[in-house]
Structures are given as C-alpha cells and as structure tokens.
Amino acid sequence: MILVWMAALTAVLALLFAAWNAKYVLDQPRGNERMIKVAGAIQKGADAFLSRQYRTVFIFWLILTIIFYVASLYNIVPAPTPMAFTLGALLSAVAGYVGMEISVRANVRTAKAAEKGLRHALDVAFKGGSVTGMAVVGLALLGFSLMYAIYGNPVVLIGFGFGASLVSLFARVGGGIYTKGADVGADLVGKSEIGLPEDDPRNPAVIADNVGDNVGDCAGMAADLYESYVITVLAAMLLAFYTKLPIHVIELPLVIGGVAIIASILGSFVVSTDNKNRIWHALNSSLRISSVLAIVGFFLVTWYLGLLQYFPSMLLGIVVAVALAEIAGHYTNKNTVAVREIAIASKSGAGTNIIYGVANGMRATLFPIVIIVIAILGSYYSSGSVFGIAIAAMAMLSLTGIIVSIDSYGPITDNAGGIAEMSGMGKKVREITDPLDAVGNTTKAVTKGFAIGAAALAALSLFVAFANAASLTSIDILNPLVISGLFIGAMIPYVFSAIVMRAVGSAASKIVEEVRRQFKSIKGLMKGTAEPDYAKAVDITTKSAISSLAAPAVLAIGSPILVGVLLGPEALGGLLAGVIVSGLVLALMLTTSGAAWDNAKKYIEEGRFGGKGSDTHKAAVIGDTVGDPFKDTAGPGINPLIKVINMVSLLIATTIITYSLPVFLHLVAI
C-alpha cells in the first residue's frame, strides 16, 4: 500500500505544480480594455457551452447513477459503484473546467506578453497549457489511488472508469461538433460569401469560432486523455487482479503514473526560446526529456521492486508514444513530401486535392499499425503475459501530463492571435503570435496521433479485462457469433462518424443562416460601425452541438448492450475487437487527411502555386473544409467511442454471461 500512497503523493505534486502555473498565468497583465472585452466574450461563450454540456451530462449521470444504485442493491455491481462512477465523472469535469478556465484567461495574457517578445508569450502560453496537463494526470491518479487505497480492490473502480468515459464522450464529441460547426460555418459565410478575412471582428461567428478552439481542442482533448489514462490504469490493475498477480504488481500501474508525473514536471522546465524557428523544438524537447527521465525512473523502480521483466514493456510503450508522434508529423507537417503532393494536386482542382488527401490519410495507417503490433507482441513476449501489454499501454499513457500540456498550448496561442487581430494590436504582435499558432497545428497533429494510439491500447487492455470478467478463456473468430460481432464492430465507427459529420454540417448551416440574418438586420455591421451579436451565434452553436449528442451516446452505450443481450458475450467480444481495429485505422485516416489538407492550404498561402486567392488556393480551401470535421470531430470522436463501448461491455460482462439470448436458447458455439 506504500506504493499507492507514493503515487497519490506525486498526484498531489502535479496538482500543486498546476496551481503554481495557474497563479503565474493569472498574475500576468491582461492588456487594454478592447482586449479584455474580446477575451471576456470568448470566456463567456466557453462558460455557456460548458454549463450547458455539463447539464446534459448531469441528466445522463443521474439516470446511470440510479441504474447503478438499483443494480448494486441486487449485487449486480459492487456497492460503491454509484459513488465511484460519480467521482470518476466529477474529477474529469473538474479537470476540463479548470483547464478551460485557465486557457480562456491565458489567451489574452499571451497576446499581451507578445508585446514583450516571443520568450514571454511562449512562457505564458505553455504554462497555461500545463495547468490542464497536470490537472488531468493529477486528478486522475489522485482519485484512482485514493479509491483503491480505501477499497483495496480494482473491481470497485470499474464505475470510476465509466464516469471518465461518460464525460469524455460528451466533451470530445460535443466539443468536436461545436468547434467545427462554428469553424466551417464562420468560413462558409464569412470568408467565402462576404469576403471577410479570418478572425475579422465584424463576423458574428468569430467568437464562436474562438470558443470552439477551447471547448474542442482544450476541454475535449483533456477529457479524452483523462479517460484513456484512467481506463488504462484500471484495465492493467484488473488484469493483474484477475490473474492473481502479487499486490505490488497490481499496484505497478500507479507507480508508473507517479514516476512519469515527476519526469513530466521536470521536462516542462526546458520550454523556452527566443527564436521563432525553434518553438516546436522547444516544446518537443520537453517531451523528449520527460520520456528519457521516465525511462530512467521506470528502470530504477522495476529494478528496486524486482519486476525488471516489465521494463521492456514500459520502454516499448514510450517508444510507441514517440513513434506515433513522429509518424503523424511525417504525413501532415507543412514541409513534407506528403503535404506538398496534396498542394500540387490542388493545381488540377479540388477533386484531385481531395483524392490525394484521402489517399494520404489511408496510407498513413501502415506504420502506426506496424508500431502498435510490434509493441503488442514485444511487450507480451518479453513479459510473458498479456499484463505486459497493459503495462506498455500504461507507460505510453503515463506521458499524458506533458502531452496535454503541449497540446493545450495550441488553443491558447490560436486565441491569442485572434484577440490580437480583433483588438487591432498591430503587426508586431501578430508576428509573434503567428509562428506560435503555426506550431499549434503541429502539436495538435502530434497529440492526435498520441490520443488515437492511446485510445486503441487502452481499449485493448479493457478488452482483455472484459474477457476475464466474462470468464471467456477464448474468443474464437471461427464461431459465427464472434465473426458476426466482428462485422458489427467494424461497422460502428463508420456509422458514428456519419452521425457526427452530419451534425457538424447541420450546426454549420445554422451558423450560416444566423450570420446572414445579422448582416441583413444589423445596420452598419459591414462598415464596422455596429457590433455583431456574438452571443447569439455562440448560443446557436452550443444548442446545435449539445442536441446532437444523444445519437452518438446512444450508439456507444446501446450497441454493446444490444449485441451482448441478443448475441451473447462471445459476440460482444468480437464486437469489441472489431470496433478497436476498425476504429483505429479509420481514426488515423480521418485525422491524417484533415491535418494534411490544412497544411497543404497553408503551404499554398505562403505564396506557392499562385498563393492566396488563386484557383489552386481555392481548391485547397475546399480540402481544408472537408478536413475540418475529419480531423476535429469524427476522427478524435472515435477515441471515446471505442473506449466507452469497451467500458460498457466490462460493466455488463458478468450480467450477460447469465442473461443473454444465446444462453437462453442453449445455442452452442462450434
């Protein structure tokens, strides 16, 4: 139990570090009145979104808590499940809330700091981001350690994981629909129809667009990785518990988390530069140093605990994290062959731009899969058990703190640029915020690669835990029930993507109508003598995004229950495997295509092939529009989808082995 308390202590350390960074950010000057006003509007919009989202989550939470409470009365789930579920969800909501509140305050302070130079702006933005990063891992590890310390049994914590999943699904998908609905809507009507530049204060949807960066890229990503982190710890501990490994092995995942927190805190101190070409290098150094320190820490700990057989798994986990980030860069960074090819294809029109972009996303699935397969097999055979695979996943996820710090830096600088533009801060400030923002695109792509791989490995660990919970010693694909489940599972990510992409389209078209209405009814808006009604646009996007959440949530929660009850536990096992493998490749394809289109457009905007305004550029803009829901809604939304489906299955595992149609009909497998 001493290991658990030590893990809890490092979690407290992470929270203190987050608080220290938060205080630093809040102590910075906010700039002039105009800046404060713009930032205030973004802040209000973000709050409005979060409060409405949390209200929707509250309803689901209430229903599910009652179900868990009743189920616990009949001993279907352990008695503390409603409480664990509530805590898991609550801490995720708190992490998202805190992260976003700091993020929407760091943006204006970053813009102000840019007046003093790059080093200051980078400092404020990164410290703001690391509040989210450290809050995520701190709250996750603290909550989990304490609950485990109290009950001494990871089975009780399945509810905790499901709480994380619930919030993640809503935050990631709702945020994803919001951010791209606002973005596509603002672009369609503002840029294309009326001819306003990006971030022009006359565009009524411009604040909604900036809010979107925070709710999607910051709060959504944070909840996603919080969930992956929690369920990876959960799955690893469950596996060790089910296979009756010694106590200190069961607690090993918590130790991994603790070690990596210290490594991440140390690594975050190196982010500093004056050179605008070295920003990515500065951020990346923190990841590299954290990784190396974590590896050293893992070695010392496993050596001390006499568990060196798990060290290769941990090493592989870190390698996967770094490799996925590198590969994502290779297919999406602005100066790569892949992106240049898409830019060249744009010369013959939008059609070829799209064809090459999709093809680029498709081929970008190869190396991540190879890396993941190497990690699965390497960690399995080096450790001698599937627990090794879970340890590799945990090692990868243990870097969540530093990864989210780097990622959350993105929306802060993106907003800072927007605030500078809208409050007329002048060219000098933009020259600082623009390169900061451009690196934000790279960090986004890198984090997405990490988040997808993390979700897949986390879900894979859950999948094995599910099999243990359902007492399945094998899940045989030759069994027609299993292959049926596999077919259904492979299809679900497609249907899910269709639902959320249509939701983006619907939100965007509502924004378009509203912007057109404002330009018609508000006199002097075009000339800049009257102000648009930003709040109205924010409200419409919020309502549209939140009301679109029911369908994907029902799909994610309902499909495993339906298949489990109708086709039994083995079919459900097939479904889980199907959804993991199909979801992983589809998500990789969607996010890679989207990021590459975005950068191909930027590549042309730098003056190549006719530059801005040319036909080639117009074709690239179309690719970018298509890429928006690919990379920021459907692609990342698949992460919580596959995790939620696996969580629900784990929850119902013991029930469906007794109550399901095949059992009832005495249908036997081959």
Instruction: Return the residues of window 385-404 that contact a copy of itself according to CB under 8 A.
Output: 385-386, 389
SS (H, E, C) 125-180: HHHHHHHHHHHHHHHHHHHHHHHHHHHCCHHHHHHHHHHHHHHHHHHHHHHHHHHH
Q: Under rule CB under 8 A, how many of the chain's residues touch a copy of itself?
A: 81
Q: Which stretch binds a copy of itself (CB under 8 A): 133-141, 506-514, 525-533, 546-554?
A: 506-514
Q: Which of residues 163-222 bind a copy of itself (CB under 8 A)?
A: 184, 188, 192
Answer for which of 78, 143, 578, 635 binds a copy of itself (CB under 8 A) is 578
To a copy of itself, the closest distance from the beta carbon of 584 in angstroms equals 7
Q: Which stretch binds a copy of itself (CB under 8 A): 60-68, 155-163, 228-236, 484-492?
A: 484-492
Q: Which of residues 127-146 bind a copy of itself (CB under 8 A)?
A: none
Q: Which stretch binds a copy of itself (CB under 8 A): 14-22, 303-311, 425-433, 501-509?
A: 501-509
The 10 Å Cβ neighbour count of residue 480 is 15
Answer for which of 186, 339, 577, 652 binds a copy of itself (CB under 8 A) is 577
Q: Which stretch binds a copy of itself (CB under 8 A): 27-35, 126-134, 436-444, 487-495?
A: 487-495
What single letter denotes the amino acid at residue 154? Answer: P
Residue 196 DSSP SS3:
coil
Answer for which of 88, 410, 568, 574 binds a copy of itself (CB under 8 A) is 574
To a copy of itself, the closest distance from the beta carbon of 448 in angstroms equals 17
61: phi then psi, degrees, rounded to nearest 5: -60, -45
Nearest residue to 98 via CA among 47, 145, 48: 47
To a copy of itself, the closest distance from the beta carbon of 523 in angstroms equals 26
Q: Which of residues 339-358 bind a copy of itself (CB under 8 A)?
A: 345, 348-352, 354-356, 358
| Rounded CA separation 510/477 (Å) | 46
Residue 483 touching a copy of itself (CB under 8 A): yes
The radius of gyration of the chain from alpha carbons, rounded to an integer in Å, stands at: 24
31: phi then psi, degrees, rounded to nearest 5: 85, -165
| Rounded CA separation 255/505 (Å) | 44
SS (H, E, C) 392-412: HHHHHHCCHHHHHHHHHHHHH
Pick the closer one to a copy of itself by CB: 63 or 373.
373
To a copy of itself, the closest distance from the beta carbon of 303 in angstroms equals 26
Answer for which of 376, 425, 445, 515 binds a copy of itself (CB under 8 A) is 376
| Rounded CA separation 434/414 (Å) | 8
Q: Which stretch binds a copy of itself (CB under 8 A): 54-62, 206-214, 363-371, 527-535?
A: 363-371
Residue 73 touching a copy of itself (CB under 8 A): no
| Rounded CA separation 142/148 (Å) | 10
Q: Work out the end-to-end distance of the chain between its first and last CA atoms, rounded to an integer number of angstroms.
A: 45
| Rounded CA separation 247/363 (Å) | 43
Pick the closer one to a copy of itself by CB: 32 or 474.
474
To a copy of itself, the closest distance from the beta carbon of 319 in angstroms equals 16
Instruction: Evaluate whether 264 touches 399 at the Cβ level (below 8 Å).
Output: yes
Residue 295 touching a copy of itself (CB under 8 A): no
Q: Which stretch binds a copy of itself (CB under 8 A): 134-142, 201-209, 313-321, 491-499?
A: 491-499
| Rounded CA separation 295/297 (Å) | 5
Nearest residue to 12 via CA among 252, 257, 295, 205: 257
Q: Which stretch binds a copy of itself (CB under 8 A): 98-106, 136-144, 204-212, 577-585?
A: 577-585
Residue 562 touching a copy of itself (CB under 8 A): no
| Rounded CA separation 248/3 (Å) | 8
| Rounded CA separation 398/581 (Å) | 23
To a copy of itself, the closest distance from the beta carbon of 666 in angstroms equals 11
Pick the closer one to a copy of itself by CB: 429 or 492.
492
Q: Which residues contact 498 (CB under 8 A, 6 or more apart)?
A: none
Answer for which of 173, 319, 454, 482 binds a copy of itself (CB under 8 A) is 482
| Rounded CA separation 389/303 (Å) | 19
Nearest residue to 332 via CA among 309, 354, 360, 305: 360
Residue 90 DSSP SS3:
helix
To a copy of itself, the closest distance from the beta carbon of 338 in angstroms equals 11
Answer for which of 56, 86, 309, 509 binds a copy of itself (CB under 8 A) is 509
| Rounded CA separation 121/462 (Å) | 41
To a copy of itself, the closest distance from the beta carbon of 633 in angstroms equals 10
To a copy of itself, the closest distance from the beta carbon of 571 in angstroms equals 9
Residue 584 touching a copy of itself (CB under 8 A): yes
To a copy of itself, the closest distance from the beta carbon of 641 in angstroms equals 13
The 10 Å Cβ neighbour count of residue 607 is 10
Pick the closer one to a copy of itself by CB: 67 or 355.
355
Pick the closer one to a copy of itself by CB: 313 or 442.
313
Nearest residue to 290 via CA among 371, 400, 393, 188: 400
| Rounded CA separation 575/556 (Å) | 12
Residue 657 touching a copy of itself (CB under 8 A): no
Answer for which of 139, 259, 589, 647 binds a copy of itself (CB under 8 A) is 589
Answer for which of 247, 366, 526, 663 binds a copy of itself (CB under 8 A) is 366
Answer for which of 230, 233, 460, 507 binds a copy of itself (CB under 8 A) is 460
Instruction: Evaluate whether 157 touches 234 at the Cβ level (below 8 Å).
Output: yes
To a copy of itself, the closest distance from the beta carbon of 389 in angstroms equals 7
Answer for which of 365, 400, 541, 660 binds a copy of itself (CB under 8 A) is 365
